[in-house]
Amino acid sequence: MISSRAASSDDGQKNPMLANAFVVLSLTAEDGEIEVRISIWNSCPTGQEICHSIAHSAIFLFLGILAEYVLPVRSHASSHSRPKEKHKKAESLADLKEELDIDFHQISKEELCRRFGTHLNNGLTHAKAKEILLRDGLNTLTPPKVKPEWVKFCKNLFGGFSLLLWAGTFLSLMSYVMLAATSDKPDEENLYLGLVLAAVVIITGMFSYFQERKSSKIMESFKSMVPQFATVVREGEKITLRAEELVRGDVVEIKSGDRVPADVRIVECQGLKVDNSSLTGESEPQSRSPECTNENPLETKNLAFFSTNCVKKKV
């Protein structure tokens, strides 16, 4: 809401003292409203006084526009973002259902071996395993997209509260420039204030960026600190490989205490239980068996999933 108000004399009559008056326009913002005030000076003000008035008015105008227009627009945009989030969740759920449209848990062992070109007792040959590894890649989860370093740096330098500090820096320097243009000895307080604000924003932004980068490197080092291994049958012999080198069709042996190195179909086991708490949140270990018990691959007992733990017996 923008309102205007003009100052006048108390008696409502024209004052001859104001014949050569100087009119100054000032803007203020209170509670999200922008108010225009016209002040009448009996004598012509100095250039420094005019610059002070204009600088203060610009600051108040900026705050008023921020409260009147920017904040409502942001709240309006956030209300429209909720349906988009629901739409994204629905798409991700549909993608998950499509990815789980498999029948590996329903087919017979013979059909399973035929599809993957393997043997239950001898496993894959080394040549066949190498060929599949080159075709499908490593047995690892697809990492999320990483933001470029310059994007992270700019986010720390210009994001959040730093944007307000940059606005204060700009207004302070602009006020000093206007004073310097109208006065031989301008007040340097605004110059020092702008430089200090700029230095604070740059130093805190760089410090935040380097701290974030250091934390991400530490997390990456944890991944390779304790490599996971798996016992695999290839060409009739049991060998130990890194879990990331497993391929589709490998016959894997999992013992109590081992971490399941991949999504596997259970073909032989005795009293097997797996801990699915990290995947499904189930607090109790879930039993597993070679028989298919449900058409849903997430509910059947003849599948064990990557990153779950074997807590009993051997499979």
Number of domains in the chain: 3
Residues 219 and 153 in one domain: yes
Residues 26 and 72 in one domain: yes
Q: What is the pLDDT of residues 148-160, one digit of tens each?
A: 889 999 999 998 8
Dihedral in degrees, nearest 10, Cα atoms 202, 205, 207, 208? 180
In a domain, 7, yes or no: yes
Lowest-pLDDT range of 23-27, 217-221, 267-271: 23-27
Looking at residue 253, which CATH number applies to its domain?
Answer: 2.70.150.10
Residues 71 and 207 in one domain: no
Residues 29 and 174 in one domain: no
In a domain, 133, yes or no: no
Count of Cβ atoms closer than 10 Å to residue 115 Cβ: 13
Are 33 and 1 within 8 A, CB to CB? yes
* pTM tops 0.85: no
Residues 21 and 59 in one domain: yes
Are 132 and 116 within 8 A, CB to CB? no
Q: What is the pLDDT of residues 73-124, one digit of tens each?
A: 444 444 444 555 555 655 655 555 555 678 888 899 899 999 999 998 899 9
Does residue 52 surpass a pLDDT of 90? no
Domain span holding position 35: 2-77
φ, ψ at 266 (rounded to 5°): -85, 120
Q: What is the pLDDT of residues 206-246, one digit of tens each?
A: 999 999 999 888 887 777 766 788 999 999 999 999 999 99
Does residue 277 surpass a pLDDT of 60? yes
CA–CA separation, 197 vs 89, rounded Å? 42
- Per the prediction, the chain carries an average pLDDT of 75
Instruction: Please give the DSSP secondary-structure letter assigned to residue 243.
Output: G
What is the distance of C-alpha 195 from the center of its chain?
31
In a domain, 135, yes or no: no
Does residue 27 surpass a pLDDT of 50? no
Return the half-sphere exposure (C-beta side, CA atoms, 13 A cut-off) of residue 92.
6
Residues 21 and 162 in one domain: no
- Can you give the three-state secondary structure of 270-314, one letter per residue? CCEEEECHHHHCCCCCEEECCCCCCCCCCCCCCEECCCCEEEECC
In a domain, 251, yes or no: yes
Residue with tokens 């709240």: 75
